[in-house]
């Protein structure tokens, strides 16, 4: 497959700049893979498409308020996006402008927080060590900014709106956006139907921000992201009687990363660099809830592997015609 196969025209005015006041009022494009049919609903109608024996699997990662501003000790402004904690006081981070921040530089950040650049990864991120007498976790809670994607230019007044209502495990640089549409009432309605739920963790990291630059998809190098699948989650998947419905591409990647057979996974934690692209034999995912993704992205490639490149292209063309809201704060799709 070639990268150009996953391009489409996305009008800038369709990129959602803020979330809706009510999470489940977003639109829902329902795409039936078998019948090749498309329906237009709202997210609150999701219950109409769920079955009593379904298992819904969610990513419970929580975004850390991890964007910091500052300057080098030699001058020059920098912006730091903390991606993940490696050890106490040591973080992997994206630094802008990266080409001017070499190993050995010292960064002076918000409220006097200092960090030394001690290494550089192959992917271009930096490894930062914070001063021993400062607790960066505590400071982030006070001064860290929500790390919104670069295509969102409007300030977010309520940081919790960029978290899922079930977020628990701190560590993401970005939200698993398919989950942003769920409300406590909708989750209660799912439980009332007897539909089972399970939670896994994948901390969204650098892979989300790295564009695919190779026309031949086989040449793209996926960055690793940390995941954890508990024994309870593995048991829920392995004993599921009905469909395994994944909420988000991050959940799908997690389950496929720990697959040991058809509808069988292993409980474990670690790093995954799984790049799902056509043709791919899905072992676990049988239905998928997702947002609309940027052109030529690994996320668009993943859903194309799940539902078929031509069908996904048709669904996206329909979403553009119908003026759906796109990307992180936009509307949702159900693929089944």
- Is 141 a residue whose pLDDT tops 90? no
pLDDT at residue 124, rounded to an integer: 80
- Is 48 a residue whose pLDDT tops 80? yes
- Is 142 a residue whose pLDDT tops 90? no
Higher model confidence: residue 148 or residue 334? Answer: 334
Q: Which domains does the chain possess?
A: 3-63+157-335 (3.40.1780.10), 67-143 (2.40.10.240)
Task: Give the separation between CA 213 and CA 26, rounded to whole angstroms.
Answer: 32
The pLDDT of 200-207, averaged and rounded, is: 86
- Is 292 a residue whose pLDDT tops 70? yes
| Phi/psi of residue 68, nearest 5 degrees | -125, 145
pLDDT tens for 8-45 read 999 999 999 999 999 999 999 999 999 999 999 999 99
What token pair was written down for 201? 């963790």
Cis peptide bond upstream of 171, omega within 30: no
User: Are β-strands 287-291 and 244-247 bridged in parallel, bridged antiparallel, or unpaired?
Assistant: parallel
- Res. 320 pLDDT band, cuts 50 70 90: very high
- Is 314 a residue whose pLDDT tops 70? yes
pLDDT at residue 328, rounded to an integer: 96
Q: What is the DSSP string of 202-237?
A: E---GGGTPPP--SBGGG--PPPEEEE--HHHHHHH
87 phi-psi bin (left φ>0, alpha ψ -120 to 50, beta other) = beta
Sign of the alpha-carbon dihedral angle for 79, 82, 87, 88: positive
pLDDT tens for 207-223 read 666 789 999 999 998 88
- Helix, strand or coil, per DSSP, at residue 2: strand
pLDDT at residue 136, rounded to an integer: 64
Angle, alpha carbons 68-70-71 (nearest 5°): 145
pLDDT at residue 107, rounded to an integer: 94
pLDDT at residue 145, rounded to an integer: 82
pLDDT at residue 161, rounded to an integer: 96
Q: DSSP H helical segments within the chain, as ranges?
A: 136-143, 184-192, 231-238, 249-257, 298-307, 309-321
Nearest to 152 by CA among 332, 328, 316: 328
Task: Give the separation between CA 284 and CA 280, rounded to whole angstroms.
Answer: 12
- Res. 247 pLDDT band, cuts 50 70 90: very high
Cis peptide bond upstream of 279, omega within 30: yes
- Res. 206 pLDDT band, cuts 50 70 90: low
**Average pLDDT in the chain:** 93
The pLDDT of 97-122, averaged and rounded, is: 88
- Is 139 a residue whose pLDDT tops 80? no
pLDDT at residue 92, rounded to an integer: 87
The pLDDT of 162-191, averaged and rounded, is: 96
Strand ranges in the chain using DSSP code E only, listed in sequence order: 27-32, 37-42, 55-59, 61-63, 67-72, 77-87, 90-96, 106-109, 114-120, 126-130, 169-172, 196-202, 225-228, 244-247, 259-261, 264-265, 269-272, 287-291, 332-335
- Helix, strand or coil, per DSSP, at residue 83: strand
- Res. 132 pLDDT band, cuts 50 70 90: low
The pLDDT of 81-103, averaged and rounded, is: 86
The pLDDT of 180-199, averaged and rounded, is: 97
pLDDT at residue 165, rounded to an integer: 98
pLDDT at residue 209, rounded to an integer: 64
């Amino acid at each position: 497959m070639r990268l150009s196969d996953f391009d489409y025209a996305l009008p800038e005015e369709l990129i959602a700049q803020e979330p809706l006041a009510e999470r489940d009022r977003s639109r829902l494009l329902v795409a039936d893979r078998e019948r090749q049919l498309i329906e237009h609903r709202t997210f609150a109608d999701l219950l109409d498409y769920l079955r009593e024996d379904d298992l819904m699997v969610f990513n419970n990662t929580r975004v850390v308020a991890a964007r910091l501003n500052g300057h080098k000790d030699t001058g020059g402004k920098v912006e730091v996006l903390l991606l993940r904690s490696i050890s106490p006081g040591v973080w992997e981070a994206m630094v802008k402008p990266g080409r001017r921040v070499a190993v050995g530089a010292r960064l002076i950040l918000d409220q006097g927080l200092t960090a030394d650049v001690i290494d550089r990864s192959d992917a271009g991120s930096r490894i930062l060590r914070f001063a021993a007498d400062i607790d960066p976790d505590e400071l982030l809670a006070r001064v860290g900014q929500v790390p919104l994607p670069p295509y969102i230019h409007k300030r977010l007044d309520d940081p919790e709106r960029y978290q899922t209502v079930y977020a628990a495990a701190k560590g993401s640089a970005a939200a698993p956006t398919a989950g942003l549409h769920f409300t406590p009432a909708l989750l209660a309605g799912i439980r009332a139907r007897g539909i089972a739920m399970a939670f896994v963790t994948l901390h969204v990291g650098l892979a989300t921000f790295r564009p695919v630059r190779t026309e031949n998809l086989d040449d793209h190098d996926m960055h690793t992201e940390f995941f954890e699948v508990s024994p309870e989650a593995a048991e829920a998947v392995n004993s599921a009687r009905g469909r395994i419905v994944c909420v988000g591409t991050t959940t799908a990647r997690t389950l496929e990363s720990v697959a040991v057979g058809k509808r069988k996974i292993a409980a474990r934690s670690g790093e995954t660099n799984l790049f799902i692209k056509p043709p791919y034999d899905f072992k676990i995912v049988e239905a998928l809830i997702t947002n609309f993704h940027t052109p030529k992205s690994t996320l668009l490639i993943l859903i194309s592997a799940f539902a078929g490149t031509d069908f996904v292209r048709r669904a996206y063309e329909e979403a553009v015609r119908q003026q759906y809201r796109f990307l992180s704060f936009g509307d949702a799709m159900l693929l089944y």
